Amino acid sequence: MARYEIATEPRGKPQRIKEAIVRFKGYLNKELVAESVAEFSYQPNKCGRSYRLVVVRKNISVQKGETVLLEDIKYFFYITNHTAYCAEKIVALANGRCDQGKRDRAAEKWGQCDAHAGRRSVE
């Protein structure tokens, strides 16, 4: 049982105005328009087995103020031998590890011997 009763009402979420300010001041703004995921088998020349290659294509609109400067396309590649997860799950697992390099460098800086012990693999 609570010791006291809350006398106020819960606050609502604030308005999202950051993008409006960026457009108003004429800063360069990159906006994700679309994202596609594909996968296929890939075998390097000197390897005896094939791997799963997951490709993410991102269509990005580059704007300055209200003017669209260009449409940019970026590709991201993920190589794995894990077959149990769908392609989207592989991308999510890889993106969840994005700060791993920073943690490894910090551990090496502070003299921890086994800096790579905490690494997880997508395999």
Q: How many domains does the chain have?
A: 1
The pLDDT value recorded for residue 58 is 95
Regarding predicted confidence, which is higher, 116 or 18? 18
In a domain, 116, yes or no: no
Tokens 């993410």 label which residue? 56
In a domain, 79, yes or no: yes
In a domain, 81, yes or no: yes
In a domain, 53, yes or no: yes
- CB hemisphere CA count around 116 (13 angstroms): 1
In a domain, 75, yes or no: yes
pLDDT digits (tens, 9 = 90+) for 25-57: 989 999 999 999 999 999 988 888 999 999 999
Residue partners of 56: CB distance under 8 A and separation at least 6: 35, 36, 37, 75, 76, 77, 78, 91
Regarding predicted confidence, which is higher, 39 or 121? 39
In a domain, 95, yes or no: yes
Q: Which domain holds residue 42?
A: 18-109
| Range name among 3-12, 39-48, 53-62, 92-101 with the lowest pLDDT average | 92-101
In a domain, 5, yes or no: no
The pLDDT value recorded for residue 116 is 42
Does 14 have pLDDT greater than 60?
yes
The pLDDT value recorded for residue 113 is 44
In a domain, 26, yes or no: yes
0.75 exceeded by pTM: no
